[in-house]
A and B are shown apart, each in its own frame.
Chain A
Amino acid sequence: MNIAENQIDEIIELEYNIHLFKVISPEIARKINPGEFLNIRISELAIPLFRRPFSVCDVEDDCYYLMFSTMGTGTKLLASKKPGDFIDVLGPLGNGFNIVDDFDRAIIIGGGLGVAPFPYLTRQLKGKKEIISFIGGRTKNDVITYGLENISVATEDGSLGFKGNVIELLEKELDKTDNIKSKIFACGPTSMLKALKILAEQNNIDCEISTECTMACGFGICQGCPIQSSADEDKYLLVCKDGPVFNSKEIIL
């Protein structure tokens, strides 16, 4: 965990208003793992006050990538940055995906911008594990497939791929007779994660989910990001420090 000014090397505009920043930082590129995040101070002024958390999207040599779309004040300001500009970055933060486990097939599930951490995860798993990706969105304009492999798509309006949500698609595709040891990696809206948690546990598939919430600090000092532990009723875990990636069995959504 460190604070530094990182220079933006390149900005790539993907379809549907998705921005991809390539940022130079050998330190972060060397240290960061898939599912971990960076907390970015977008303005030196007091508005917006908080840093904004972003998953590391990918890593290549001395650079890392961020993927985002404009949601509000912070992301709008971030989107106005130009190559050569510096951003104030705190990180790497949090606990990412556990990929040293014993599994042969990675099932990646992303809803909307929830796909952000998966190009890096895919890069790390490629050639080592079988990868299947299920990507969902409301319409085809919300489906982001950048950096992913072996993709099946679900849209709620049916404008692309399966008509329905991505968990319904997964349920349909889950071949319960095949006994390849699978592990699910997911990130997306809470409603999606809730449905997935039930499905994964019913089918006895190990499942890690990346959760989101408002963060003030991002590194465990404000206590602003609690999530209920399933092991201990009297205990909250912190999304920023204990997560953002949790085994689905660890938490109550």
Chain B
Amino acid sequence: MISLQNINKVYRTKTIETLALNEINLEVSEGEFLSIMGPSGCGKSTLLNIIGLIDEPSSGNITIANQTVNGYNSKDMAHFRNEKLGFIFQSFHLINDLSVIDNVELPLLYRKSVSASERRRLAEEALLKVGLKNRMSHFPAQLSGGQKQRVAIARAIVGKPNIILADEPTGNLDSAMGNEIMNILLQLNQEEKTTIVMVTHDESMARKTNRLVRLFDGAQVS
């Protein structure tokens, strides 16, 4: 499903050159739930962003869902993200001006040939899966952190993507709420066979996944 070959990422500023990722080779098979761990600043987010095509590597090859994405232009990449990928962020990133249902519908807005009623139906379905259908017309400010993250999950799955990328999805939540989110992700992985790559700081969360990759200073250590 995901294949990374010799990925390097270098950040250059005037004073310093950071090697954020160093010769990463990674294979993730279809339906796998992979977690990535490592100390702060070791390059976890950078790696996830590169898999998610919202950041480009300095060198290396990426193949996702049997498509080599090197050489995609920004429009192709936007299209690809829209069809195949779903994102969950540590700080939720819901749009405060929009209601819950409108937030969930968002990815479908950029997909041609989805009618308004179809968008609505899919969004309601996604909200049902995360148990928030009754909060449809609330605004993000009226929700708890755990509820916000569940809305974010609904948004990530509404377009039925092949891969979900989650960067510390439980990082801002207490352990009870974190477990709730983790259970939703596990269920998604088992029932829908969605491939999930998750960055986490929590060993107990990581243990529930199929495989654990550890990074240290931009390099894969296990």
A binds B: no
